[in-house]
Amino acid sequence: MYKKLIIFDRDGTINLDSKGYSHIKSECKIYEDVYSFFSALDTNINICVVTNQSGIGRGYYSEKEMHEFNYEINKLIRLKTMHRGIDHFFFCPHIPSDKCNCRKPKNQLVKKALKFFNCKPYEALFIGDKLTDFQAGTSAGIQSIIIDRENSLDSVKLENLEVNIYSSLEFSNFKHYFE
């Protein structure tokens, strides 16, 4: 099935997030397999990010700092590849106790992304690094994939789910989604 939209998680999927709450642009590091993935990708495919940014709600950083960090991600992608980068960032600034509908595993932002790009669920692919990403994607009817680079996911929790897990964003693994 041909996919025309990729919805990425951000932290831990696109950029390294070893300390959590990534927001300092000078420390922004992109996974090498992200560069090769973008290099191999057909430029007609829309790309967006759906990301939980509770660091804003917790007062760890501002919305402006987050936008600057997002800008840095695209700057690095453009520098290292011929690709234009991520077309749109959708973010949830809330903390869990806000009980909003946009924080993953809720799917409000995922649905918003589909609408924004005028895309049917079956035309999209969700790529994240956590079970909550998988839940946000699949509950919106989108085929979803987890990249488990550190092989750290709890296999017990995943046992009863048909989760597509890959150890990297190596493009050849994904080629079939786009042809």
User: Cα–Cα distance between 50 and 115 in angstroms, integer?
Assistant: 13
- Say if strands 164-166 and 88-92 run parallel, antiparallel, or are unpaired: unpaired
Q: Is 11 a catalytic residue?
A: yes
For residues 16 and 32, give the distance between their C-alpha atoms in angstroms, rounded to a whole number.
10
Per rule CB under 5 A, is residue 136 in the interface with Zn ion?
Answer: no
Mark 57-96 with x for binding to Zn ion (rule: CB under 5 A) and - for no binding: -----------------------------------x-x--
DSSP 66: H
When CB distances to Mg ion are compared, the closest residue is 12
Number of CB atoms found within 10 A of residue 116's CB:
15
Q: Any catalytic annotation for residue 42?
A: no
**Which partner in Zn ion, Mg ion, none is near 15 (CB below 5 to 8 A by kind)?**
none
Single out the residue of 9, 34, 37, 107 in contact with Mg ion (rule: CB under 5 A): 9
Asked if 103 touches Zn ion (CB under 5 A), the answer is: yes
Tokens of 38: 């973008």
CB of 130 to Mg ion, least distance (A): 5
What letter does residue 105 receive in the DSSP assignment? T
Footprint on this chain of Mg ion (rule: CB under 5 A): 9, 11-12, 129
Catalytic center residues: 9, 11
